[in-house]
Structure 1
Amino acid sequence: MTKKLRVGVIGAGIASRHLIGYDWNKDLFDVPVLCSLDEERGRELCQKHGIGEYTQNVDDLFVRNDLDIIDISTPPDSHFELCKKGIESGKHVICEKPLFGSIADVDEMSRIVARSGGKKLMPIFQYRYGSGLQKLKLLIELGLTGRPFLTTIETHWWRGPAYYEVPWRGKWKSELGGGLLGHAIHAHDMLNYVHGACAEVFAYGATLVNKIEVEDTMALSVKMQNGSLAVLSMTLGSRKEISRLRFCFHDLVAESILEPYTMGRDPWSFIAGTEEHQKRVDEALAGYEVKEDGYTRQFELFHQAIVEDKEPPVTLQDARNSLELVTAAYHSQRTGKPTPLPITAEHPLYHSWLPDEERRMAASA
C-alpha cells in the first residue's frame, strides 16, 4: 500500500496551484492544514480543496507531529527562515522560487539539511516536467542530439502597474529581484537542466516598463561549462506574451512552443540534419512514455524520493546553479564586465545581490 504523506501548506497565492498538484496525487498526499495571513483567500482554498484546518499562526505547523512536509508558498524574503524552521522541526520542505536571496543562504541551507538526519528540501522548478522538454532530455540521453552549439531563450511577458499593487512586488527588500529572478527563472532553469552549470555571464539590465525598484528588462550572453553559448532575453514589457526555448545541436534543433507559461509542454519540434537521422529521432520519440507534468509530476517524484530515501528531483545544487546565473548577471550589469562562475564565498555578491546590502558589505570589508 502506498504511504500517504501529510502536507502543511503556507500561503494562499501560488499555493493554489500546489493544491491542484496534490489533488492530482490524492493517493500520495493528504493536506490537513493551510496557513495564510489572508483569511479570505485561505479559507476559500480550504473549502475548495477539502482542507480541514485553517490557521494564521505559522508556528502551529512546525510544532505538529502529524505533518511530513511543509510546503512554503510565501513572498521570497520569508523563504530562508521558513525553510530553516521546517527542516529543524523534523519535516521535509518544498519551497517556491526564487528559493533564497543569496548563494550564501543556499550554502547555509545545505549545511542545515546535511545535519538534519535525512530531511529533504526540494526547490520548485515544475516547468522541467513538460513533455517537450522531457523529450529533449531523452534524445540527449540516447546520444541523438550531438554536441551543443547555441541556446536562445526568450521570456517576453507583460506586467502593468496593477501587478505591482501587491505591496511586496517590485521591491528589492521583499521580492529580492525583478523579472530576471522572479519571472525568467523557470526558463533559465531549463538551460541549466539541459546543459548544466554556466561558466561566464555578461548582462545588460534596465527598468523600462514600470516605476519599480527592480529590473524589468534584461539581455544576457552566457558561456556554458559544456562549451556551448546561450543568449537570454527577458522583458515584462511585451504586449504579446511568449516564451521560447531553442536548442541548436550538431545533429538537430529543438524548439519549444510559444505559450508563455507552459512552454515546456508539447508540441515541441525536433528537426534533424538528415532524413536518416530524422527517422532515428522520430523512432526514439515514438517510444516516449507520457507522464503527468508540472507540479503534479514534481510532487510525485518528491514522494518517491522520500519513500525511497533518494535525492529530490530538484536539488539545492539546482537552485544554486539558477541563483548563480542571477548573481552573475546582476554583478555584470553593475560592473560592465563579464562575470565568471561559480560564485564563491570571496565574490562581492556572495552574501547578497541587493544593492543596499552590497554597499553595506563593501563598506565593512
Structure 2
Amino acid sequence: MSTSEPRSGTSPAPSTPLAGRRIRAALVGIGAIGRGSHLPALAELAEEGETEVVAAVDIDATAVGEFCAANGIPHAYTDLDRMLREQRPDLVSICTPPTLHRDQTVAALRAGAWVWCEKPPVPTLADFDAVQAEEGTDGGPYASIVFQHRFGSGSKHVRRLLAERAMGRPLVAHCQTTWYRDAAYYAVPWRGRWATEGGGPAMGHGIHQMDLLLDLLGPWSEVRAMAGRMVHDVETEDVSTALVRFANGAMATVVNSVLSPDEVSRIRIDCERATVELTHLYGHSNANWRITPAPDVPGDEADAWRDFGADVPSSHLEQLRELVASMRAGRRPRSSGADGRTSLELVAALYKSAFTDTTVRAGEIGPGDPFYTAMHGDAPGWAPVHSTAPVAAEEVSA
C-alpha cells in the first residue's frame, strides 16, 4: 500500500460537513481485526443509518476484491493514496500492523479524513507526536486509537464513581494482563520485533488494561519496572512487571505476560470505602464487575454503587458510536491526542525503567531521549542485534 511521507507542521485538508448524511468509511487492512471487529461495527452503524463502507484497501488484490464482493463494499484498492483521492472518505479505519500506522494515519488526515487506528497507535512517542501534528486544530480531522475497553456501561459507571469519590479515595490498584501465546504466534514475521510491532506484551497486549486503568484513575506520575525474555526467541520482552504511582497518590502493580496458561485480564482498585474489581479476558459486560463495600457502608449506598444500569458491553461498536458522535459534533474524540498519548507514554516509561534500572517520571521522555524514538532505547541487551530493515510488505499485511 502506498502512503504519503510524513511532513511535520502541515495542515490537513478541512473536514467535509457531516450533517444529514451517512459517514463514508474506508477499511485499511482486511485481516482478522479488520474483518472481525472493525467491519462488524461499521456494518452495525450502517444498519442504523450512520455509516456506509465505501472502500477497502489491502496489498493483496485478489483478497481485497473477494472481501469487498462478499461484504457489499463497492470499491477495492491496493493503493491507499489512490483510494483517498478517489473516494474522499470521512473516516479511515486502520487495521494494519503497527509499523504502518504512522504513514497511513498521516495520509488519511491530510486527505481530510478522521482516523480510527488499532492499538498500539504507532511504535514510538516520536511517531505519535508526528501524527498529532497533522491533526486539525478546530473541529478535526482527528486520529483516535482503538481502546475499546474504556467504552461500555461498566467502565462508564465505575469512572463516574471514582471521579465523584463516592467510594472514597483510590488507594491501591492492580492491573493484570496475563495471557498465553505459543511459538506459532511468534512465527508471524512482524511479531516480537521492535521495528514492526513496537514492543512485547506491554505494548501489544497489556496496553488495553493499562489504558483502562489510566482512564479510571487519571494521570500517572512515576513508574519503576522490570522486564524479561523468559520463553520466546524474540527481540522484545515476553513479560514485564511495574510499580506505578498516580498523580492522585494511588499506587498500582502492573503485570503483562504472554507466558500464562490460565489467561485473565483484571483490574482491581481498593478505595477507602470499597473495592472495585473487573475480571474478564478480551471484553467485559456489567457482570464482569464486582464492587465490595467496606463493612460500615450502608446497604442502600452499596446497592446504588452496584447499579450499573442497562448492560452495554465494551466493544469496538461502542467506541465507534462515540467517535461518530464526535465527528458529527466536530469535537476531539476520547482516546485521541493527549488523552491517547498517556498510555503510550506509560509503556515507553515502563521500558525505559526496566532497561535502565531507574525510576521514570511522567513527561521525562521527550526529544533527545533514546526512548522517544525507539521503545528499546538502544539499551544494551534489548536493542535489535540483527538487521532492522523493514520486513517485506506481504509479511506485514493484516
Deviation at 1:356, TM superposition (A): 4.6
Equivalent residue in structure 2 for 1:149, among 151, 165, 171? 171
In the alignment, is residue 69 of structure 1 matched against residue 69 of structure 2?
Answer: no
Deviation at 1:47, TM superposition (A): 4.0
- Count of matched residue pairs: 359
Give the stretch that moved more between structures: 74-83 or 107-116: 107-116
1:148-187 to 2 correspondences below 5 Å: 148-187=170-209
Give the stretch that moved more between structures: 312-321 or 15-24: 312-321
For the residues of structure 2 that align with 1:175 and 1:191, how far apart are their CA atoms? 23
Aligned counterpart, 2:212: 190
Deviation at 1:274, TM superposition (A): 3.5
1:12-161 to 2 correspondences below 5 Å: 12-13=30-31, 14-16=33-35, 17-26=37-46, 27-39=49-61, 41-114=63-136, 118-161=140-183
Change (3 A) 1:212 1:116: farther
Q: TM-score, normalised by structure 1?
A: 0.91
Deviation at 1:230, TM superposition (A): 0.7
Q: TM-score, normalised by structure 2?
A: 0.84
Aligned counterpart, 1:247: 269
Give the stretch that moved more between structures: 94-103 or 180-189: 94-103
Deviation at 1:41, TM superposition (A): 4.7
1:219-258 to 2 correspondences below 5 Å: 219-257=241-279
Change (3 A) 1:139 1:115: closer
Q: Residues 256-281 of structure 1, C-alpha deviation per residue, up to 9 Å, x if partnerless?
A: 12x32114653310111146444213
Deviation at 1:196, TM superposition (A): 1.5
Contact 1:8 1:33 in 2 (8 A): yes
For the residues of structure 2 that align with 1:166 and 1:280, how far apart are their CA atoms? 51
Contact 2:139 2:332 in 1 (8 A): no
Deviation at 1:43, TM superposition (A): 4.1
Aligned counterpart, 2:7: none
Deviation at 1:56, TM superposition (A): 1.4
For the residues of structure 1 that align with 2:158 and 2:339, how far apart are their CA atoms? 18
Change (3 A) 1:345 1:355: closer
Aligned counterpart, 2:16: none
Deviation at 1:319, TM superposition (A): 2.2
For the residues of structure 2 that align with 1:286 and 1:221, how far apart are their CA atoms? 31
For the residues of structure 1 that align with 2:308 and 2:327, how far apart are their CA atoms? 29
For the residues of structure 2 that align with 1:310 and 1:115, how far apart are their CA atoms? 10
Contact 1:128 1:264 in 2 (8 A): no
Residue 63 of structure 1 aligns to a residue whose secondary structure is helix
Q: Residues 14-64 of structure 1, C-alpha deviation per residue, up to 9 Å, x if partnerless?
A: 111111111221121110111112446534543443222222122222213
Please, which runs of 5 or more residues in structure 1 have no aligned partner?
361-365
Letter in 1 for 2:288: P
Contact 1:129 1:264 in 2 (8 A): no
Change (3 A) 1:136 1:40: farther
Change (3 A) 1:105 1:144: same
Q: Residues 67-92 of structure 1, C-alpha deviation per residue, up to 9 Å, x if partnerless?
A: 11111111101111111111111111
Aligned counterpart, 1:335: 356
For the residues of structure 2 that align with 1:142 and 1:199, how far apart are their CA atoms? 21
Give the stretch that moved more between structures: 332-341 or 53-62: 53-62
Letter in 2 for 1:6: R
For the residues of structure 2 that align with 1:233 and 1:41, how far apart are their CA atoms? 38
Residue 157 of structure 1 aligns to a residue whose secondary structure is strand
Identity of aligned residues (%): 28
Give the stretch that moved more between structures: 164-173 or 37-46: 37-46
Contact 1:157 1:236 in 2 (8 A): yes
Aligned counterpart, 1:9: 27
Aligned residues: CA RMSD = 2.3
Deviation at 1:334, TM superposition (A): 1.3
Change (3 A) 1:11 1:207: same
Please, which runs of 5 or more residues in structure 2 have no aligned partner?
1-18, 385-398
